[in-house]
Chains A and B, each alone.
Chain A
Amino acid sequence: MDKSTFKTKAGLAQMLKGGVIMDVVTPQQARIAEEAGAVAVMALERVPADIRKHGGVARMSDPEMIQGIIEAVTIPVMAKARIGHFVEAQVLEALGVDYIDESEVLTPADEANHINKHKFNVPFVCGCRNLGEALRRINEGAAMIRTKGEAGTGNVVEAVRHARQLFADIRRLQSMDEDELFVAAKEMQAPYELVKQVAEAGKLPVVNFAAGGVATPADAALMMQLGVDGVFVGSGIFKSGDPARRAKAIVEATTHFNNPKIIAEVSKGLGEAMVGINISDIPEGELLATRGW
């Protein structure tokens, strides 16, 4: 019997596909998310919209609060560690979380290195803006990828930009002669072996979700039609007028992403969506997506 193999780590992400992972800050929110049909919850102290508002250094959440959420639901529980903060990751592993998000939403702890994720038994998900960044994270041991978007904005534009970039990068590799893959690997600062694998398969070797700015059922379906495997919704649910209803609607729109009639039906009368922020109104130093290297 072999425990915590890469196959079991990447395999859990396979089981989350076609689903919605929701940010929750209390056990009660976690139960609302599970009841609405979330495939997993992300336990954190403050949703990204509030992290933006509060400013300061954002860190791993209180273990007691994470434990409370683990006990409240039967679906997988994820939690965030700071980029490069391998001790926060050790703590989360010791708590028994099912997935760690090494996340740009928290303040980075290391401005050069990400966590060596091969050293852990718990699987990791990491953010990316393009294929090179995704492959660097996979090379470090990430078993799942998400496009970064711009968290806490309720504005899907960056999520779209990053997903389109990622898929365009993959298509470009597929059109290349195999002799050209060496330079492609050098240019995107990614390992040649992974570049070759993507060129042959036409997709990432791990599951890829969208994140950062998804606020409506149509946003979720848009990301699915662009080709991602599922969606993370952070502030979009519990910063809206009727979280339970919106959560359920986003779940259903993700399943029926190719069926506009159903998306129309579930989008009716959801109440107020979270207030969005235009990306151009955010000072450059406060952009989260540029964290991570």
Chain B
Amino acid sequence: MNVGVLALQGAFIEHERILRRLGQQVTQVRLPEHLDTVDRLIIPGGESTTIGKLLVAYKLLEPIRERAQREMPIWGTCAGMILLAKQITEGRPAGQPALALMDIVARRNAFGRQLDSFEADLAVEGVAGEPFRAVFIRAPLIDAAGPTVEPLATLDDGRIVAARQGRLLATAFHPELTDDARLHELFLDL
């Protein structure tokens, strides 16, 4: 299996490092021809405005949407989750491009500014054993989810921070910044 990591901007090398540790072949995706060679795709954390603009400028937006419709698994972390969301409640500058694939309403910078970034232990559906140490950096939230979306993790107050819909996975936090590969394993099984 060849796992693509969108490498336009952000923490793509950290995803690559974990995938290689799991014995996967990895391709950095910057252009449509790279996308053609991969079986699944991770959209990393970064700045969603920057990644969105580069997706359009280098003609990746529509090809990724087409592949998703043909059941290619996609996982978005943080900025990646914002790009996957069909709707954004606030914080997206007018006209910001998005993949708009997953039936969730996401809220950008939902916790505030960098001073409100935090770490927390989470129970994640489908991840056995100890709680997952989740790193939230200027993180988004899932405000609402459609009927076919399965919430996988919530904060203590019930707000959704990870979800799955078919072969789409979204996490508001950054598993790539930890040594814990359990969410990468879950994605590889989708």
Contact = CB atoms under 8 A, between A and B. Distances in A.
B114 A122 contact: yes
Nearest to A230: B9
Contacts of B12: 18
B103 interface: no
Contacts of B120: 1-2
Interface in A91-113: 93, 96, 98-99
A121 B114 CA distance: 9
B79 A15 contact: yes
Interface string B48-71: 011001100110000000000000
B184 interface: no
A37 B47 CA distance: 9
B78 interface: yes
Nearest to A18: B9
Contact of A252 (B47, B54, B138, B177): B54
B117 A11 contact: yes
Interface string B1-41: 00000011111111000000000000000100000000000
A4 B137 CA distance: 9
Contacts of B57: 252
Nearest to B77: A15
B109 to A, nearest CB: 7
Contacts of B128: none
B45 A15 contact: yes
Interface in A30-81: 34-35, 37-40, 74-76
A139 B7 CA distance: 31
Contacts of A37: 49-50, 53-54
13 contacts: A1-B120, A3-B116, A8-B137, A9-B117, A14-B45, A15-B46, A16-B46, A18-B10, A39-B46, A75-B47, A75-B49, A76-B47, A93-B115
Given A8-B135, A74-B109, A255-B8, 17 more contacts: A7-B135, A8-B119, A12-B117, A12-B138, A18-B7, A18-B9, A19-B10, A34-B93, A35-B93, A93-B115, A98-B138, A123-B114, A251-B54, A252-B54, A252-B57, A255-B30, A256-B58
Going nearest first, the 8 A-B pairs with the smallest beta carbon separation are A98-B114, A8-B117, A18-B9, A39-B47, A14-B11, A37-B53, A3-B118, A37-B50
